[in-house]
Amino acid sequence: MIRHGLALHIADKDLEGSKLPKWWGFAYRKFNIRYTVLYPIPINLIVRYALKLYWLVYGWVATGGWKDKLDDAYWQGYNDGNTTREHHYERLARIIMGKE
């Protein structure tokens, strides 16, 4: 076990078959070094949900442009598939004539 500030880092091999220390709760895992990070019980939930919120916001911001393009393509296909055949051919004629 390694104490790092308020956090307690425990290697996976130390946790095999043992109990967690009293009044410490799971916050997150460090997969690259195979550690479990524990915090005192009320703080572990704050840390856990702050990290969860961070990754949700990061994912939303990072994929914003790509997601908009996918949504536009989806709704274009949805609207094209739900129109009547006459409307579809009229739209194709307008496209061919250069009016759309």
DSSP secondary structure string, the chain? Answer: -EEETTEEEEEHHHHTT-PPPTTEEEEEEETTTTEEEEEEHHHHHHHHHHHHHHHHHHHHHHTHHHHHHHHHHHHHHHHHHTS-HHHHHHHHHHHHHT--
Q: What is the mean pLDDT of residues 92-99?
A: 80
CA 66 to chain centre: 15
Q: What is the mean pLDDT of residues 23-29?
A: 86
> Which residue would you say has higher pLDDT here, 63 or 73?
73
For the ranges 7-16, 17-26, 42-51, the one whose mean pLDDT is highest: 42-51
How far apart (Å, rounded) are the C-alpha atoms in residues 89 and 48?
A: 55
> Which residue would you say has higher pLDDT here, 65 or 73?
73
Instruction: Give percent of the chain above pLDDT 90.
Output: 10
